[in-house]
Amino acid sequence: MAALGPGGRCAPTLPLLLGLAALAVPPSLAAASEPPPAALRAGHAASSLPAAAAASRTRYLLYDVNPPEGFNLRRDVYVRIASLLKTLRKSENWVLVLPPWGRLYHWQSADILQVRIAWSEFFDIPSLNKNIPVIEYEQFLAESGGPFIEQVYVLQGYAEGWKEGTWEEKIDEKPCIDQLMYSRDKHGYYRGWFWGYEETRGLNASCLSVQGSASIVAPILLKNTSAQSVMLDRAENLLHDHYGGKDYWNTRRSMVFAKHLRVVGDKFRKKYLQSTDEADRTQYKEDWTQMKVKTGTALGGPYLGVHLRRRDFVWGHREDVPSLQGAVKKIHSLLESLKLERVFVATDAVEEEIELLKKLLPEMVRFEPSLEELKLYKDGGLAVIDQWICAHARYFIGTSVSTFSFRIHEEREILGFDPKTTYNRFCGETEKNCEQPAHWKIVY
């Protein structure tokens, strides 16, 4: 890392020996080569289970998101699915299976393999479990008897689209509008991406047209299918049940960054930005349920925090994304008015733009990992570190409609910063109405 700038003695019977032999086969290999147990096969109904087993069994909810969507939008989808799980758990024992990370557009480091990544690499699992019961995908494989998902629902809109007028929440099983991104193999199983786990197979797959909030799916999962494991693909098509409410913020607060990444960020802050929790009034409690900070009590470190989104935003949001020169001009103005001497910049800028920023902005400090650190933390971990450092700045300015910036807003809201130091964005040079981000006040 470098900074630029300031688990009877009778002879065994044959069945027992066969059973022991079967146990000698590693579960993953056995599951990958054998058909699923009868209880997992397509068409198996909960009614065929003993009543006690049906009542006490655990059901698993899995989900995935449209492949092009990035790390921070996927974090938002988790909040929506968590709300659905809470609704399901009012009727049955459901557990959320965390979808492994990987193959994201923004994770472009070429020298490292970034698939089948556990959530524990980026988030604190015990913290998540204080909000809803969650398990990693590998644990699901061990608990459920193999790499089989009984029912895959692909969420889609309605072919006729949304008609103007009164908003109506609805959900229906419909023919798939687009080509199904799953293909059937010679055994009749559905094969697909499944987070990079090639051995995973779906037993049934169909499409649901949905228009509404996350919990609208609950009746389908509780009444229309008895599958023990259900996956919702394209889960981003679900809206929030209660955006910005207490349930939303409880889930968001539970998404505590993995401690090893926070430690890296804290050490960097102290070494290169003269920033510590004591001096910055940003003391952090490991138990998020015990952390309730009054708005405006956090001071922040003696530096400006900047998220400067480039690449696809340069051509995709031309009007409200500034040029590098425009961004630097704004940064210098903020440094002067805030009487700060350093600026921490989180950016996805290409190398040529980085070099230009170094010339135009000598006050710039960036977290630049070594190859060993990159392999250890991965691109997702580096994003977390950048966000953690930005979240502790005296003042933060981000990029318009960027979910990366939105997540920093939320972290700062949790830490107790004055909204005026948080909900700010760059303006494009030709932008006529530079509306600033809305303040979503934390609710306890």
Q: Which residues are catalytic?
A: 69
Measured distance CA(259)–CA(384) in Å, rounded? 11
Measured distance CA(216)–CA(87) in Å, rounded? 10
Please name the amino acid found at residue 429: E
Decide if 215 contacts 83 (C-beta within 8 A): yes
Decide if 364 contacts 345 (C-beta within 8 A): yes
Decide if 392 contacts 421 (C-beta within 8 A): no
Element (H, E) at 52: helix 51-56
Measured distance CA(404)–CA(309) in Å, rounded? 9
Query: Between β-strands 148-156 and 94-98, what pairing exists: parallel, antiparallel or unpaired?
Result: unpaired
Measured distance CA(114)–CA(96) in Å, rounded? 22
Decide if 330 contacts 398 (C-beta within 8 A): no
Helix axes 246-254, 71-88, angle to 10 degrees: 120
Please name the amino acid found at residue 136: E
Q: Any alpha helices (H) in 104-220, and if so which ranges?
A: 125-129, 137-144, 218-219
Q: Coil, strand, or helix at residue 170?
A: strand
Question: From its phi and psi, is residue 116 left (phi > 0), alpha (psi between -120 and 50) or beta?
Answer: left
Within its chain, how far is the Cα of 267 from the centroid?
A: 25
Measured distance CA(221)–CA(216) in Å, rounded? 10
Within its chain, how far is the Cα of 53 from the centroid?
A: 33
